[in-house]
Structure formats: C-alpha cells, structure tokens
Amino acid sequence: MNSALKWLPWAALVALGGCAFGDGYYHDRNIDYADARQAEPLVLPETRDPRRFRDAMPVPEAASGFRESTDGFEAPAPQPLGAGRIQREFVEPRRVGDDAWLVVAAAPDSVWPQLEEFARRRGLDVVASDTARGVIETRQGRLSVRRGVRSGDSEVRCEQAGRPAEACLNALEQYFSARSATASGTASLQAQRLAGGERLGLVQRGGEWRVEVPLDMERTWAELDYQLKQDFTVEGRRELLEGTPTDHSHRIRYLPLSERREGFWKGLVTSESPQEIRLMLESEGPERTLLRAEAADEGDLGAEDKRELLERVASLLR
C-alpha cells in the first residue's frame, strides 16, 4: 500500500473508494425526469363546498410576450432579490404629503380578520363592517384595508374625518408587527375579492415601452419612491437622485444595457457611462397609471435600454 495512504482513517478510504463506483459517490439525478410518469389529476367529489377551495399556488400570467433582441438572443437578467425585499419588515409606514398609511406584507383576505380583531381588542364601537369594501366604520374613526401596489401586499388605513389618525396608525403598526408570525395564518373567504383585479404589466404603445399600473397615481408614486430608495443605491450602476411628489417623477442615474461591458478585460479598457433618466407617472383615470422613462440629459435612451430599465423598475412593484 502507498505509504501516504496507510495513515488515512478507514472511513476516509471507504469514501474514496466509493467515488469509483457507478456514476459517482452521489447519485446523479439529472436524467431522472426521463423516467417520470404523469399521474391522474386529483378529482374532488361533486358534494364539496366550493367556498372552501381555491388555488393554493396560482400560476400568474406573463406580463408581456417574448421579444427577441435585434442583436440576437440575450437571456434576461433575473429579477433582483434585493428590490427592497431582503430587509423588508412585515409592516411598513408610507407617507405622501398629508396622507399616511401602512403596507402589510400579507394579502387583504389575511389582513381583514386581524383588522377586525384589532377593533375588538381596542374596544372600538363598530357601527358598520363591509367585508366586500374592506371597511370598518367605528364611532372613533374608519379602519380600512385594500390590496397594495405589489402582489400579496395590503394597505391599511385609519382615518378620522377623512384624515390619517396618527395615534391609530402607530397602534396598528405595533399590532401588526407583534403578530407578523401569525397574521397570514387565517384568511377570510369573504375578503378574497379585495385582492382581485389585474396587475401591472409592461406594454408597448406606439413604439414606446410603458408600464401600466392598475392603481391610482398617488399610491403608485409612494410605493415606487420607497422601493427606489431601497434598490437604487449602487454607485455608478443605479442611483436615485431625487423624487418629486408634486409632479410624480423621479430622477435616477442608471447604466443602460447598451453601456454595460461584459468580461474582465473589457472593463479595463472601456469606461462605462451612467445616464441620467427621468421616471414619470401619468394618470389615465382613478385606477390606472402609466410609468415611462426618458433621458434627463442630452443623451438618447434607446428602445432596448428603455425596455430593460422599465422591466427592472416594474419588478420593484410586483
């Protein structure tokens, strides 16, 4: 036996020997799918109560169709995991001007029972409760919940005489923060419709790329402002320069797709030039907003660069 091997523990020799058998020490499952067989679909009895069943993991529709690049196929970049989600809290405050509300990371049908429980625990005098609208009227004020800008989120408000009640919002924030582990455990079947409706999508109008958001402009701007502050923080690549709530716009510095350079050696000899770009919201009605991008300086933002940027920004709102 090789003198270098005789001192190895017996278990190590067995492990080394195992690597020489079959396809390797670890079973290679790369081709297991070839032997897979499709099972018969599950059939529920006709006597079931349809109100108790719904899609647990629905497959979302594609936001836009495939469009091949003029320079050949290029795999799209994966949606960034950062996007304001890595250190996200279960409940977060939002504020635009004199308006204020909370964003809860749970669907409205899960938040609604918690809102009812909050009213009971606080001893509020409930005058009316409308599950379909997500509104609880009390003698002290109005509590409400509706779907948020991003999928799976809810917006919770507490108002007195049509204005945000700060003390109530603070109490709600503490309440939801304490119940973050269980807030999504119970859902209301009657409140499921609160989360319904279309979601945002990337579309092309008259040769120009736009993001259609099926929500009002104020809420869209507030959420976009928050998410840009979380994600556009990489110097020389993507930076938020300023946000202007009065005209619902943001000014950013972004490195367009056409300016990016791949490979280490290209990076040594080529300078990349970030471009100043304006993101602008336009209202198309009470519940529809358009997001578009334009060059803020004398440069030009090409169609492919605009599409890639809007896809990234749209991912922050999904």
Q: What is the pTM of this model?
A: 0.57
Q: Do 217 and 164 fall into the same domain? A: no
Which CATH number belongs to the domain containing residue 124 in this structure? 3.30.310
Summarize the confidence of residues 7-22 as an average pLDDT: 48
- CB count, 10 Å around CB of 238? 20
Considering the chain, what percentage of its residues have pLDDT values greater than 90? Answer: 19
pLDDT tens-digit readout, 167-207: 999 999 999 888 764 544 554 444 455 555 667 788 888 88
Instruction: Tell me which of 219 and 73 has the higher pLDDT.
Output: 219
Whether 3 is in a domain gets the answer no
Rounded-to-integer distance, Cα 57 and Cα 255, Å: 36
Whether 267 is in a domain gets the answer yes
Q: Which of 195, 225, 248 delimits the end of a domain?
A: 195
158: burial class by Cβ within 10 Å (0-12, 13-18, 19+)? Answer: buried
How many domains would you assign to the chain? Answer: 2
User: For residue 281, what pLDDT is reported?
Assistant: 93
Whether 225 is in a domain gets the answer yes
- CB count, 10 Å around CB of 150? 20
Q: Does residue 82 have a pLDDT over 50? A: no
User: For residue 273, what pLDDT is reported?
Assistant: 79
User: For residue 272, what pLDDT is reported?
Assistant: 66
Q: Which residue is associated with the tokens 């469009």?
A: 67
User: For residue 28, what pLDDT is reported?
Assistant: 60
Q: Do 119 and 151 fall into the same domain? A: yes
- CB count, 10 Å around CB of 65? 7
Buried b (16+ CB within 10 A) or exposed e, 244-255: eeeebbbbbbbb
User: For residue 240, what pLDDT is reported?
Assistant: 92
Q: Which of 174, 195, 216 delimits the end of a domain?
A: 195
Q: Which of 195, 214, 242 delimits the end of a domain?
A: 195
Binning pLDDT at 50, 70 and 90, where does residue 80 land? very low
User: What average pLDDT does the chain have?
Assistant: 75
Summarize the confidence of residues 143-156 as an average pLDDT: 86
> What DSSP letter does each residue of 182-196 carry, written as one string?
TTTS---STTGGGG-
Whether 301 is in a domain gets the answer yes
Supply the range of the domain harboring residue 146.
91-195
